[in-house]
Structure 1
Amino acid sequence: MDGWDFSPGQLLGPSDVAAMFRVDPKTVSRWADDGKLASTRTLGGIRRFSRQQVEHLMYGGNTR
């Protein structure tokens, strides 16, 4: 998905991403809805995010 690593050991939940960016988890969901943050969903419908992409964004990288 967009070249980001979505393997099981590299996934973060919405609350993990929210804590890293110091935002509400709903903001993270909105970023995913807007296409600013790639995500995949579990069988239960929970979003998971690529640790690689999140760290790339955190440390000054641009979205791909």
Structure 2
Amino acid sequence: MRLKRTINRPLIIDGWDFSPEQLLSPGDVADMFRVGPKTVARWADDGKLACVRTLGGVRRFSRQQVESFLSDGA
């Protein structure tokens, strides 16, 4: 069986990079903001943080967006 070679391109959603190598788990984001993972989930539900979901339904966040929020003090 021959596998197809894919070209890795950035996945940009609403201006944020959601490429696989740029994704953070809710726990990672929670650690960065010093809050609990449930708070991060609430921020996503409220639209404060954009997220994508894995096939298993787990949220993943854009490192670029999270770091932007941290540096802006949001």
TM-score class, shorter-chain normalisation, is over 0.9
TM-score by length of 1: 0.93
The letter for the 1-side match of 2:16 is: W
Q: Which has the larger radius of gyration?
A: 2
What is the alpha-carbon distance in structure 1 between the residues aligned to residue 53 and residue 73 of structure 2? 24
The letter for the 2-side match of 1:30 is: R
The letter for the 1-side match of 2:64 is: Q
- Greater relative CO, 1 or 2 (CA 8 Å, sep 6+): 1
The letter for the 2-side match of 1:6 is: F
Residue 61 of structure 1 and its aligned partner are, at CA, apart by 6.4
What is the alpha-carbon distance in structure 2 between the residues aligned to residue 54 and residue 61 of structure 1? 11
SS at match of 1:59: helix
Instruction: Specify every segment of 5 or more residues in structure 2 that has no aligned partner in the other structure, as ranges.
Output: 1-12
- The structure 1 segments of at least 4 consecutive aligned residues displaced by more than 6 Å after TM superposition are none
Report Cα offsets for 1:13-64 as digits up to 9, x if no partner.
00000000000000000000000000000000000000000000000166xx
Instruction: Specify every segment of 5 or more residues in structure 1 that has no aligned partner in the other structure, as ranges.
Output: none
Change (3 A) 1:5 1:28: same
Task: Give the aligned length.
Answer: 62
**Equivalent residue for 2:48?**
36
Q: CA RMSD in A?
A: 1.1
